Structure 1
Amino acid sequence: MTAVSLVQGDITRQSVDAIVNAANSSLLGGGGVDGAIHRHGGPEILDACRALRASHYGKGLAVGQAVATTAGRLDARWVIHTVGPVWSVEEDRSARLASCYRESLRVADELGAATVAFPAVSTGVYGWPLDDGARIALETVRDADTAVAEVRFVLFDETAYAAFAGRLHG
C-alpha cells in the first residue's frame, strides 16, 4: 500500500526518487513549479527535455501524459514531467487531471522509484479549483495500482496544504 503524506514547502527541496513537474506541453520550462524545477535543477533538465522534443515528442507532451528526465542538481534521481489540463467551466476535464497522476505513477514504476513528490497539478495558473484538484489527486493516488511506497504532496502555501489536508483526513 502506498503511504500518502503532505508537506507545505518547496518541491525543489525534496529528497525523493522522483519529483513530478507540472510542465507545459513544450517541456521547455515555464512559470510556477515548472520554472522552479528548471531553475533549481539546472541546464541538464532542459537539455534532456530538448532531446525528448527532438525525438519522440516533436509536438510536445500531450495533456495527461508523463515522461521522465534526469533531475539535474535536484536531490532526486528523476523529474517526471506531466501536463495538466487548464480548468474549464464548459468541459469536464477531470479524467485528464487524474491521468496526470496515474501516468506519473506508471512512469515512476517503470523507473523503480519508491518515493515520489507531487505538486498540486493544474491548481496554479491553469486555474483548477484547489478543493477539487485535491480530491482528484488523492483519489487517483489512493486507487492507483503502483509499487511506489510513498507519495508526498508538496504544497506551496497554507491554502493548498489546508485543501489537501481536509481531503486526506476528512
Structure 2
Amino acid sequence: MARWDGIDEFIAVGEEGSFTAAAKMLGLSVAHISRHVTALEQRLNTQLLTRTTRKVVLTKEGEVYLHQIKHLQHAMDEATQGLAQQQSTPKGKIKLTAPVMYGESFIMPIVHNFMKEHPEVEVVATLSNEQENLLEGGFDLAIRLGHLKDSSLKARRLSARRF
C-alpha cells in the first residue's frame, strides 16, 4: 500500500487549504499529515503544495494531481463500501450432510427457517446414514452422531443425546 500512502492526507490538505484543518478532518496530528504529504511529494518527485507560514496553496501540478487522484479515492471508497455491503448479506451455496432421522427432525426445520430469512442462500442437504467423504463430496458442513474419529476437520458439539 506504499503507493497509496499520503494520498488521503494530500487530498485533505488540498481541499482544506491547511495542514491543521486536514489534521482535524482526518483525526490525525499535523506532524503526521506533513510527513505523509512530504513523503508523497518525494515519491512523485514533484512539489504538490507551496507552503508559507500563513497558507498552503496547490501548485499547478498539485491541482492536476488532486483532481485526478480524487477520482481514484472515490472509486476505492465505493469499492470498499460495496464489498462491506456484499459481505453483510449472506448469499451463495451451502452443501451439508446429516443423518436421515436427525436431519428430518432437527436440521431441516432450521434450514427451512434459515432459507426464508436469507433468500440469496441456497442450501443443498444430503440426508444419509452413511459417513460421506466431506472433501470428495464438496460438503461445507456435516452433522454427525456419535464420537468423532480423529480428524483434521474442525468440529463442535451441538448437543448431547441419550438412548
For normalisation by structure 1, the TM-score amounts to 0.27
Higher helix share: 2
Higher strand share: 1
Structure number with higher relative contact order (C-alpha < 8 Å, ≥ 6 residues apart): 1
